[in-house]
Structure 1
Amino acid sequence: MLLDTASLYFRAFYGVPDTVRSPDGAPVNAVRGLLDMIAKLVTTYEPTDLVACWDDDWRPQWRVDLIPTYKTHRVAEVVPGGSDVEVVPDPLEAQIPIIREALGLLDLTIVGRADHEADDVIGTLATRARMPVDIVTGDRDLFQLVDDARDVRVIYTARGMSNLDVVTEATVVKKYGVLPSQYADFATMRGDASDGLPGVAGIGEKTAATLLAAHGDLAGILAAAESGDGISASVRAKILAASDYLAVAPTVVAVVTDLDIDPPASRLRALNDVERTAAAEFAERWGLGTSMARAVDALAARA
């Protein structure tokens, strides 16, 4: 099980009331929510291994160099010579170190890579895995990793933790009319305002799916646009007008699958008595109620 960790703790922050606080009044709603998510996910899907994938760089410069609008609307401030700072509510920002400590107390492995997003860590680990993989995320870009032959699927959280969707190849085909292997090209053409990707003007989901069905991939669509074969004049004009965007966008949209990552120690295990005590003391200090205990028990049940 590969967690898109930021996706989950943002969802927890907005899904659990901000009245959930520690004894000293600090907000802990994201911490409690994430621990409850982990307990539910482990209990429901019964993974043997789990990795919390991390955004070491939520807006990599190499992606911005290709498309300057990439995630621009989420930039809180630009640090000269450094990384852009993401818009994160202060009460959530304060909880991120607590989240990392909680994951450490559960002996869950956190993996991130410099200059890359959690998506890229997930893509690399999912591609190299020698076991079935569940990717837990609210980001539909990761649908490009779904692979029935390798038993890679997405547990999609967009409708909330009470309405999780298990995304397989059939799910992607039914909803979008494309195969997961075509999804990155589909997303490139459609665009995504939430990521600052403009897409091809005048090309929506239905047209993008139709083009991919006819020409296979973006390279085939571009070849048809250049030759004028098998493509209408109006669509051809739209594709050609977006040629500069289409030359760089696929690299931005495609999840990296070849990062230099050693196989992480990800096997779930039961905590020993000393570790359980430390987790309980941590939960008491931060006012986490039974959330930490539920996570501890869920992991022990899978060990």
Structure 2
Amino acid sequence: MPDPDPAAEQGQRVLLLDAATLYFRAFYAIPSSVTAPDGTPSGAVRGFLDMTAALVDRFRPRAVVACWDDDWRPAWRVARIGSYKAHRVATDGSGASGEEVPEHLPAQADAIAGLLAALGVPRVGAPACEADDVAGVLATRTGSTAVRGVDVVSGDRDLLQLVDDHAHGGAGVRVVWIGKGVGNAEVVDGAALAERYDLPPQHPGDAYADLAVLRGDPSDGLPGVAGIGEKTAATLLRRHGDLLGVLQAALDGDSSVTPAQRRRLAEAADYLDVAPRVVRVLRDGEAVEPFGDDTAGVDAADVPTPDLDSTSSRLDEAAVTALAERWGARSPAERLVAALTR
């Protein structure tokens, strides 16, 4: 679809950054030979600042918010599907476990967090929430009447489920998909999403979440329904509206669901009971009850609402300069400051 008209939308929309998508992408795109003055690899820091500056320059948002992974593998998801992200778990010699990440990335992620604070860009995380959940809650939180639409920046297909042309008084929630790089970022609204995946056009974001349940996602350890791939899932959803409609049609013996598909859906019944809650990101007003080994659940109310007032009032240029020089990233930092204060 065509790019948004900056003149029509400047200063009205909120830009939500899936921060991990940006800094992981920067880490792998920039060679380790790019270092800070002390020799520490700094590509993720430089790349994150440059990509964010380019996005702010292009979209001219009212505010920028960085959505952060406070819990990359929440217990409420793992309790429902034990394989969820299990292949990414790293265990050290003491038996402690965490996410498997490249050696030089954690220090750079910490530096990015410090730079965001100095830049005056809110960084929002919450207990038991992935960055996807933070984005889901903030994108669907409607308390600010001054917000005319939300753009969610990510290279993760999971967040396509947030696309909603009807939210925020019709200004909508769009996804700025950077799977092919920030320079080739695609603005995905409802029409674009429905066309890309051949989904029902009425609520393509919700339909995409249902498609993701059926298709599965090996990168997240989600098996999906054996024998039902993306195209078959889309066909079933177009015919029956949503996942519940597909399952009801299978139970009713509807001829549009083949005997093999009915069998596979029946065999996946346990997975289908829990997968929608695992796949669906948290929305404002939702709470997920404890389940199995998870005794806490999660509540969207725990996601704080960021201050969307002018970044320039919170900007600490001296702190930005000091941190940027420490990481050999003064030029990218200056570009981002200029974009944020323009």
Q: What range describes the TM-score normalised by the shorter chain of this pair?
A: over 0.9
Partner of 1:133: 150
Aligned to 1:53, which of 57, 67, 83? Answer: 67
Say whether residues 1:253 and 2:279 are aligned partners: yes
Aligned to 2:47, which of 21, 33, 49? Answer: 33
Aligned to 2:187, which of 166, 172, 175? Answer: 166
**Structure 1 vs Structure 2 CA RMSD:** 1.8
Say whether residues 1:283 and 2:324 are aligned partners: yes
Consecutive unaligned residues in structure 2, runs of 5 or more: 1-14, 285-299
SS of residue matched to 1:182? helix
Shift of 1:86: 0.6
Q: Is the 8 A contact 2:120 2:316 kept in 1?
A: no
TM normalised by structure 1 equals 0.94
Partner of 1:10: 24
SS of residue matched to 1:27? coil
Report the Cα distance in structure 2 between the residues aligned to 1:121 and 1:174, rounded to whole angstroms.
Answer: 27
Q: Deviations over 1:213-256 (max 9, x none)?
A: 11111111111111212322111111111111111100100011
Consecutive unaligned residues in structure 1, runs of 5 or more: none
1:81/1:17 Cα in 2 relative to 1: closer, same or farther (>3 Å)? closer
Partner of 2:56: 42
Q: Is the 8 A contact 2:163 2:173 kept in 1?
A: yes
Q: Which amino acid aligns with 2:135?
A: I
Aligned to 2:104, which of 91, 106, 110? Answer: 91
Q: Deviations over 1:55-75 (max 9, x none)?
A: 000000110111111011111
Report the Cα distance in structure 2 between the residues aligned to 1:32 and 1:286, rounded to whole angstroms.
Answer: 8
263-272 or 281-290, larger mean C-alpha shift: 263-272
Report the Cα distance in structure 1 between the residues aligned to 2:94 and 2:196, rounded to whole angstroms.
Answer: 42
Identical-residue share of aligned pairs (%)? 51
130-139 or 73-82, larger mean C-alpha shift: 73-82
Aligned to 1:65, which of 54, 62, 79? Answer: 79
Q: Is the 8 A contact 2:67 2:134 kept in 1?
A: yes
Report the Cα distance in structure 2 between the residues aligned to 1:263 and 1:63, rounded to whole angstroms.
Answer: 23
Aligned to 1:264, which of 292, 306, 314? Answer: 306
Report the Cα distance in structure 2 between the residues aligned to 1:171 and 1:216, rounded to whole angstroms.
Answer: 18
1:61/1:99 Cα in 2 relative to 1: closer, same or farther (>3 Å)? same
Partner of 2:136: 123
Report the Cα distance in structure 1 between the residues aligned to 2:55 and 2:318, rounded to whole angstroms.
Answer: 23
SS of residue matched to 2:330? coil
Q: Which amino acid aligns with 2:207?
A: Q
Report the Cα distance in structure 2 between the residues aligned to 1:240 and 1:213, rounded to whole angstroms.
Answer: 20
Shift of 1:285: 2.3
Report the Cα distance in structure 2 between the residues aligned to 1:232 and 1:160, rounded to whole angstroms.
Answer: 40
Report the Cα distance in structure 1 between the residues aligned to 2:323 and 2:98, rounded to whole angstroms.
Answer: 29
Report the Cα distance in structure 2 between the residues aligned to 1:297 and 1:110, rounded to whole angstroms.
Answer: 19
Shift of 1:81: 10
Say whether residues 1:144 and 2:161 are aligned partners: yes
Shift of 1:284: 1.8
Q: Which amino acid aligns with 2:262?
A: R
Count residues with an aligned counterpart.
299
Say whether residues 1:153 and 2:174 are aligned partners: yes
49-58 or 255-264, larger mean C-alpha shift: 255-264
SS of residue matched to 1:43? helix
Q: Is the 8 A contact 2:321 2:330 kept in 1?
A: no
Q: Is the 8 A contact 1:79 1:85 kept in 2?
A: no
276-285 or 232-241, larger mean C-alpha shift: 276-285
Report the Cα distance in structure 1 between the residues aligned to 2:94 and 2:228, rounded to whole angstroms.
Answer: 37
Partner of 1:24: 38
227-236 or 251-260, larger mean C-alpha shift: 227-236
Q: Deviations over 1:188-234 (max 9, x none)?
A: 00011111100000001111011111111111111111121232211
SS of residue matched to 1:290? helix
Q: Is the 8 A contact 1:13 1:33 kept in 2?
A: yes
1:75/1:297 Cα in 2 relative to 1: closer, same or farther (>3 Å)? same
Partner of 1:211: 236
